[in-house]
Structure 1
Amino acid sequence: MAVNYEYIEGNPDASPLLLLHGTGGSEKDLLPIGRFLAPESPLLSIRGRVVEDGQNRYFKHTADGGFDLDNLQQETDWLFETLNELCQKFDIDYQRFVVVGYSNGANVAARALLTRPDTFHTGVLFHPMALATGDANQDLSDVRLWLSHGDTDPIVSEQNFEILTDDLQQQHADLTIFRHEQSHNLNEAELSSARTWLQSSGRLGRWREEEHK
Structure 2
Amino acid sequence: MSDIPLEHVHVAPDDAPENAPAVFVLHGRGADEEDLLPVARHLPDELHAISLRAPDPLQGGYTWYELDLSAGGLESSQPDAADFRRSLDLVAESVDAATEAYALDPDRIGLLGFSQGAITSLSLVLEDPDRYAWVAALHGYLADAHADADPDGIEGKPVFVGAGAGDRVIPESRSAAAADRFEELGADVARGSYPGGHGIGQEELADLVAFVEAQAA
TM-score normalised by the chain length of structure 2: 0.83
1:109 aligns with 2:121: yes
1:138 aligns with 2:151: yes
Q: How far apart, CA to CA, are the structure 2 residues paired with 1:170 and 1:119?
A: 20
Letter paired with 1:114: L
Structure 1, residues 100-146: CA drift from partner, whole Å, max 9, x if none?
11111111001122233554221222112122164212131131011
Alignment of 1:50-199 (within 5 A): 50-62=56-68, 64=70, 66-117=78-129, 119-132=131-144, 134-139=147-152, 140-199=154-213
Flag structure 1 segments of 5+ consecutive residues without an equivalent: 206-213
**Identical counterparts, % of pairs:** 21
Structure 1, residues 64-117: CA drift from partner, whole Å, max 9, x if none?
464212321221011111221121111112321121111111110011222335
Q: How many residues are paired up? A: 203
SS in 2 for 1:96: strand
**Using a 3 Å threshold, how does the CA distance of structure 1 residues 3 and 67 change in structure 2: closer, same or farther?**
closer
**Using a 3 Å threshold, how does the CA distance of structure 1 residues 67 and 7 change in structure 2: closer, same or farther?**
same
More strand by share: 2
Q: Is the 8 A contact 1:113 1:138 kept in 2?
A: no
Flag structure 2 segments of 5+ consecutive residues without an equivalent: 71-76
Q: How far apart, CA to CA, are the structure 1 residues paired with 2:134 and 2:46?
A: 17
Of the structure 1 ranges 166-175 and 47-56, higher mean CA displacement relative to structure 2 is found in 47-56
Q: How far apart, CA to CA, are the structure 2 residues paired with 1:154 and 1:14?
A: 38
Q: Is the 8 A contact 1:136 1:171 kept in 2?
A: no
Kindly report the root-mean-square deviation, in angstroms, between the aligned alpha carbons of the 2 structures. Answer: 2.2
Alignment of 1:26-41 (within 5 A): 26-41=32-47
Q: Is the 8 A contact 2:30 2:63 kept in 1?
A: yes
SS in 2 for 1:39: coil
TM-score normalised by the chain length of structure 1: 0.85
Q: How far apart, CA to CA, are the structure 2 residues paired with 1:53 and 1:32?
A: 21
Q: Is the 8 A contact 2:92 2:124 kept in 1?
A: no
Q: How far apart, CA to CA, are the structure 2 residues paired with 1:75 and 1:60?
A: 11
Q: How far apart, CA to CA, are the structure 2 residues paired with 1:141 and 1:114?
A: 11
Q: How far apart, CA to CA, are the structure 1 residues paired with 2:162 and 2:117?
A: 13
Q: State the match for 2:25 in structure 1.
A: 19
SS in 2 for 1:7: strand
Letter paired with 1:32: P
**Using a 3 Å threshold, how does the CA distance of structure 1 residues 158 and 62 change in structure 2: closer, same or farther?**
closer
1:148 shift after superposition: 0.7
1:17 shift after superposition: 1.3
Q: How far apart, CA to CA, are the structure 1 residues paired with 2:96 and 2:212?
A: 23
Q: How far apart, CA to CA, are the structure 1 residues paired with 2:11 and 2:78?
A: 35
Structure 1, residues 129-187: CA drift from partner, whole Å, max 9, x if none?
12216421213113101111111111222332232112211221111111112211111
1:16 shift after superposition: 1.0
